[in-house]
Amino acid sequence: MTATDTTFWDERHRHIRTHIGKWQGGHDVRVRGRWLLRELLQEVSITQLAVFNITGRLIDKPLASWLEKTVFFTSYPDQRIWCNQLGALAGNSQTSPVAAAAAGILAADSRAYGSKVQYQTVLMLSELQEAYAAGAGFAELVARFPLRNGVPSIPGFARPVKIADERLEPMRRFSAELGFVPGPNVNFVEGLAEHLRVHHQADMNAAAYACAFLMDQGFSALEVYRIRTADVLSGVLACYVDLHDQPAQAFLPQTCTDVQYDGVAPRALPRSL
């Protein structure tokens, strides 16, 4: 048998090489070329530190404030929201809060809501922007998407015009208050939303605006996904706490027939088994 060249793995065998960070016991911690205790502790907020850890970018305080405020929109403590239902079930089962938080965050890694939607929305907006810049009109762009209930199914724009997203106006307002001027991506989604309102009775939701804003700030789809990982956390934990000390089986108790069975009718095992 020919020996395999294992140099790549040998170089990493019991040896870590990284630019990310290193605890230097009794002294300080290196974080992407900066000192955590001597420098960053005095200079930055937890959000600035998180974005620095995740992306390597040391963002300024207004952008950190913007990110913090948008978490208000992604962590509603409403027990009907799916990830929060997991928090409530976990609380009523008296799991650890960490298990509840992890379960809720995993649930929100969803194609329908939460962090993955923002990742997909940034990717989609990038493609649409590219086509728009190449001369495609809004009607042509919208035609790329299938209709669902007569409305184009575009990530970030699944909002009937009758029920405006309550988060949009506050988001526009605090963006301006923090000194941000709409960039090309925000202007693009505002234009697309206007087209949808006029022609399709649809509107954008807060995810489209927030993703476009973050694109204008230079973040990639993967960076948005990573920064937004735990956005639902406080809502999940609020529901966890509410149910934790309530009696067992208190969260939306279900009868046997609340789950409708549509499978094969009860039958005997085959004799040959």
Partner 1 sequence: MSSPTEAATRPDFTTSICLEQPLPGNPYVAERRYISGYNVADLWRNCHYCDGLLLLLTGELPSQPQRRLLEMLLVGLLDPGPRHPAVRAAMLAGVSKSGPEHLLPLGLLTGSGQRGGALEVENAWAFINSHLQNDPAALAALCLAEARPTPGFGSSFGAVEPIWQRLAEDLVAVMPEQPVLNWCRDFCRVLHGQNQGWLLPGLIAAVGLTLGLDARKCLGLWQLAIAPAVMAHGMEQTHKPISSNALLRDDQYDCD
Positions in the binding site for partner 1 (CB under 8 A): 1-4, 6, 9, 14, 25, 78-83, 85-86, 89-90, 92-96, 99-100, 102-103, 106-113, 116, 248-249, 253-254, 256, 258-259
- Angle 244-112-128 (CA atoms, 0-180°, nearest 5)? 145
Q: Write down the least CB distance from residue 29 to partner 1, Å.
A: 16
The residue (of 51 and 108) whose beta carbon lies closer to partner 1 is: 108
Q: Write down the least CB distance from residue 25 to partner 1, Å.
A: 8
Q: Write down the least CB distance from residue 257 to partner 1, Å.
A: 11
Q: Write down the least CB distance from residue 111 to partner 1, Å.
A: 4
The residue (of 209 and 240) whose beta carbon lies closer to partner 1 is: 240
Q: Write down the least CB distance from residue 252 to partner 1, Å.
A: 8
The three-class DSSP label of residue 204 is coil
- Residue 178's Cβ-count burial label (10 Å; 0-12, 13-18, 19+) is middle
CA–CA separation, 78 and 25 (whole Å) = 43
List, as own/partner pairs, every contact residues 127-132 make where C-beta atoms lie below 8 angstroms and the sequence separation is at least 24, other chains included: 128/188, 128/192, 129/184, 129/185, 129/188, 132/188
Amino acid at 95: T
Amino acid at 67: L
The residue (of 92 and 175) whose beta carbon lies closer to partner 1 is: 92
The residue (of 63 and 154) whose beta carbon lies closer to partner 1 is: 154
The residue (of 46 and 262) whose beta carbon lies closer to partner 1 is: 262
253: Cα separation from own chain's centroid: 29
